[in-house]
Chains A and B, each alone.
Chain A
Amino acid sequence: MTENKEMLLPKDTRYLKYPADGPFDQEKARWTAFNCSRCSVCKWVDSWRVKSAKYARICPQHTKYLYDSHSGQGKCDLALALIDGKLQWDDDPEIKNILFQCTMCGGCDAMDKGIRDAELIKMYRWLRSEYVKRFGPLPEHKTMTDSIREYDNVWLQPRLKRNNWVKELKGMGIKDLNREKSDILFFAGCTYGLSDELKGTIVNIARILLKNNIDFGILGNKELCCGSPPSKTGILDEFERLAVSNIKQFNALGVKTIITPCAGCYGTLRVEYDEIEEKKNFEVLHVAEYLDRLCQDKKINYKKELGITVTWHDPCHMGRLGRPYVPGRDLEGVYEEPRNILKSIPGVELVEMERIREYAWCCGGGGGAFTGFKDFARWTARERLAEAMDTGAEMVVTSCPWCETSLRAGAAGMNEKMETVDLFDLMVKAL
């Protein structure tokens, strides 16, 4: 076949090859918005994946608030109007809601990538940062922002408390990478590490790793927030500060592999750190990816049969937002590994919800919505729990502290009960 040199090709070379590299600046935001054709794929689950009328929507914000302004399409319209000066940032207080109600789950972004080369989620981050430049962080996010600035974590906790979860494992040989060497860093994350309710999960994970003689270490009091919350809520200077500090620290310690149980940390370390000039000398894995290898090698010795039916909720940041974007490449993520682990546990039957993998419905916990728009976050979680109940499962299993917190908050007050359990807590029950 011969190449025809007389072809009339578009003048704008971005139509010939989308520039996925480089900073996502105003020009890129405008181009993303300008090329929205109002096709509405951002509002629905991919048509080939629609299994019922009930679970056909992909965007929690648009499904709840209904107006097209509160969808991916509407945000493109808004971006274009703001950039072109047709609307001013202070023209309408609803601009704040349009930009910040969104859970940044990336559902619209994933569906959009099915039909065009674009990065909606980056456009939202850009819009939020522009908003924050003008008006400062949302009052609802201010505590979190102050906490990060003061304590390098989002929970207003002193740095010393970072080490509390390890106390239960004293004498079991967990290395402190500030003093000892290991190729593997276990990055606990602020939420698992500092929450009394959630820290049991990372204790369980550490026990599994230790039992399997995995040589790993932690940063203890020196662990910083990964930067995910400020990144999602428009406070990009804080994100950059944390990202640069973390990359430098990890590189200096000679860490080869970071494993984290937190989906938010995972997506941030693995994908968003690519935006930072400081280069990563390490790979990032979710604990599920790491433990799946042990399961595949039959190195996990289960002793109990659980006799339970469960469904798996895909956290957005270890799924559709868990890989750097390469146009045309599959929207892969950590989808199969947790499912493999669940299937490896004796007496666990996995039943799937209708919306899974890259077309999963969000838990409501992301993007600052859980702190900024509590009722909406709870509604989103309840939609997910209803979907889980329809599978006949007895519990939802997931592996993200934000998903777990949001789904549990959503379940409170519901007539029907649906428990949310962390993957590794379930795993430990069978050991």
Chain B
Amino acid sequence: MKNRDRNNEQHQQILGAFQTALGQENVSDGPATMNAYFGDWLPPKTLGTSVPPEFVVLPNGTMETQAIVKICNRFKIPFIPVGSNQWSLSSAPNRPGTVIIDCKRMGEIHEIDEKNMFAVIEPLVSLAQLHAEANKRGLYIGSPEASAQSSAVAGHLFQGMWGVGHRIGVAYRNILGIEWVLPNGEILRTGSFSQDPACGFWGEGPGPDLRGMLRGYAGALGGVGVVTKMAVKLHPYPGPRTWPCEGHIPNQVSILPEDRFSWDIVKYDDLEGAINFMYEVGRAEIAAVLQKWPTVYYAWWWANSNEQYWETWKKRTFQDNVKNAVGVSLWGFTSKKQFEYEKRVLEDIIEETGGKRIPREIYDLWVPRTANNWIRDTNGSRMMRPSGTFLALRLPTDTLRNSIGVVRTGYEWVNKFSPPILDSDGPDWIGGYDFGHFGFGETDFPVEKTPEDLGDLMNKLLGMTKEDLQNGIENGIGPFLGGTYHAMAGKVFKYDKLLKGIKKAIDPNLVSNPPHNIPVED
């Protein structure tokens, strides 16, 4: 598992080819630069599979990206595309000779079409940037709870379980046209881009919907080429043109206008009660955000220092007050009248389902500093605060009802693996999407941050996944483990032959982030 020496003849040939394509300043093979693309969000050596890349290249636009991909095919060397490179999930090289295609020179918003409500963006554009520009025009998108500094293109391709998904569906459902350099170096344009590369209002076809090769649950993780341009949906927004934020880091607060926006945190005796409430809110087709957060989330997103986190946790401030609580945000999309109507409907639902609002002092403590992260996230990276890192062990999509079972079996695994899993009060995130059409359950927890503890835990997670598969449970964890563990993906998806067929057809030299999105070597 070693890269070529920098003086190696082939290394020099490849370097020369990249430099000819991009210019010397946009190609690096220096050890100090490679070192910044080596790791991922876990401590070094946790999985023991990553090696430094051999090159990092900075193409600008589709044609330069195509040139790089063609060079990779000519020399049969793997490449990994990265957008904002947040957390480097699945982008740490796992084979020698890897080229990182860093999209830092592709940060333009080509267009925001206010009338037809879509934006055309390049891979570096962050969700916060797009959100800000959309807000100026009375439009919005969401941002996943891993923070809005992540790439909007990558965020749309990967999972995209954002807070506003209750109203507008998960991120990958909001992709329209795509301009895409396939692993073999061909350029593919989908949707209305296929007819006019400047026009991205339509996502389907022509013919079969090719977006499915890229997007979807956890996406393709760089395994099927590089998206260099994407059109995404925007949606009508009744909020201010500039995101409201007062105070100083780390204690900023964000309060949207009270005549059009509200947050209610409604508590139930058990998870069943909470999920029943979520169904009823969906059935009434009200609200923009609907989330059942675990108590760790309340503490993670809120605490502004390590000490505050653990002192609050030890006092059980959140555990005793927000267990089985659901956060719901109402928006007066069309008018104040509509907002008032939704408030009345919500009151009825709370009464009918036996819900109780959390204590006012807890609401006032938490909501101003934290709740709007589920509209535009800025505190998501606080997930690392309690112990330096966190892990998740189950992340399946399912019906809202079945998500209860998912997180409950998650508790069992958490108990089984504690320590190194640390105190987390039965973590049970359940998000509601498309007005209750489906749910997403995730079990997140802080864990001791040592390579030994984490490596051991990751191997146990693999065992858990195997056991789940034997029991016919799709637990979603396979794609997230990455590297060699990605072999689980085929079994998880249950259409591994089709995925392999696609991968082989468009990536004959296996250069696009192997073994993603599915191993084909066997």
Contact = CB atoms under 8 A, between A and B. Distances in A.
Contact of B251 (A77, A330, A359): A330
A357 B418 CA distance: 43
Interface in B460-496: none
B32 A69 contact: yes
Contact of B242 (A43, A51, A117, A331): A51
Nearest to A69: B36
Interface stretch (A107-115, A210-218, A227-235, A392-400): A107-115
A185 B136 CA distance: 48
Contacts of A73: 36
Interface string A1-31: 1111001111110111110000000000000
A53 interface: yes
B58 A67 contact: yes
B86 A358 contact: no
A38 B86 contact: yes
A67 B33 contact: yes
B132 to A, nearest CB: 5
A69 B28 CA distance: 11
Interface in B102-127: 102, 104-105, 109, 125-127
A115 B381 contact: yes
Nearest to A11: B448
B126 A56 contact: yes
A323 to B, nearest CB: 10
Contact of B378 (A17, A77, A114): A114
Interface in B67-82: none
Contact of B320 (A1, A14, A47): A1
Contacts of B248: 330-332, 357-358
A68 to B, nearest CB: 4
Interface in B312-328: 313-317, 320
Contacts of A84: 44
B381 A1 contact: no
Interface string B362-382: 000000000010001111111
A38 B41 contact: yes
A117 B127 CA distance: 25
A71 B56 CA distance: 15
Which among B35, B44, B419, B421 has the highest number of chain A CB atoms within 10 Å?
B35
B165 to A, nearest CB: 18
Contact of B40 (A14, A38, A116, A327): A38
Contact of A44 (B128, B372, B448): B128
B252 A328 contact: no
B39 interface: yes
B314 A4 contact: yes
A35 B58 contact: no
A52 B31 contact: no
Contacts of B125: 53
Contacts of A113: 249-250
B30 interface: yes
B315 A1 contact: yes
A7 B36 CA distance: 36
Nearest to A96: B32
Contacts of A69: 32-33, 35-36
Contacts of A3: 314-316
A269 to B, nearest CB: 22
Nearest to A74: B36
Which among A41, A73, A111 has the highest number of chain B CB atoms within 10 Å?
A41
Contacts of A49: 243, 245, 252
Nearest to B92: A38
A80 B44 contact: yes
Contact of B306 (A11, A92, A117, A330): A117
A8 to B, nearest CB: 5
A283 interface: no
Task: Give the size range of B's interface with the partner.
Answer: 35 or more
Interface string A162-176: 000000000000000
A48 B384 contact: no
Interface in B139-153: 143, 146-150
Contacts of B422: 8-10
A123 interface: no
Task: Give the size range of A's interface with the partner.
Answer: 35 or more
Contact of B35 (A51, A86, A115): A86
Which among A2, A50, A95, A359 has the highest number of chain B CB atoms within 10 Å?
A50
A223 interface: no
B238 interface: no
Contact of B446 (A10, A80, A115, A358): A10
B235 interface: no
A208 interface: no
B152 to A, nearest CB: 10
Contacts of A95: 32
B348 interface: no
A331 to B, nearest CB: 5
Contacts of B105: 66
A66 B58 contact: yes
A17 B39 contact: no
B423 A9 contact: yes
Interface string A136-170: 00000000000000000000000000000000000
A50 B243 contact: yes
A328 B30 contact: no
Interface in B386-431: 386-389, 418-419, 421-423
Interface string B1-45: 000000000000000000000000000101111011111110110
A331 B33 contact: no
A35 B388 contact: yes
A113 B304 CA distance: 9
A265 B443 CA distance: 49
Given A1-B317, A67-B33, A113-B249, A16 B132 contact: no
Interface in B223-268: 242-243, 245, 247-252, 254
B250 A331 contact: yes
Which among A10, A91, A116 has the highest number of chain B CB atoms within 10 Å?
A10
A37 B36 contact: no
A67 B305 contact: no
28 contacts: A7-B313, A7-B314, A8-B419, A9-B423, A11-B448, A15-B388, A37-B381, A39-B149, A40-B85, A43-B149, A47-B143, A47-B377, A47-B378, A48-B245, A49-B245, A50-B128, A50-B132, A66-B58, A69-B32, A69-B33, A69-B36, A71-B36, A77-B39, A86-B35, A92-B32, A92-B33, A115-B379, A117-B305
Q: Report, nearest first, the 5 A-B pairs whose CB atoms are least far apart.
A: A328-B305, A39-B381, A74-B36, A69-B36, A327-B305
Interface of B: 28, 30-33, 35-41, 43-44, 56, 58, 84-88, 102, 104-105, 109, 125-133, 136, 143, 146-150, 242-243, 245, 247-252, 254, 304-308, 310, 313-317, 320, 372, 376-382, 384-389, 418-419, 421-423, 446, 448-449
Given A48-B254, A71-B36, 7 more contacts: A9-B310, A9-B423, A53-B133, A68-B37, A77-B35, A94-B32, A113-B250
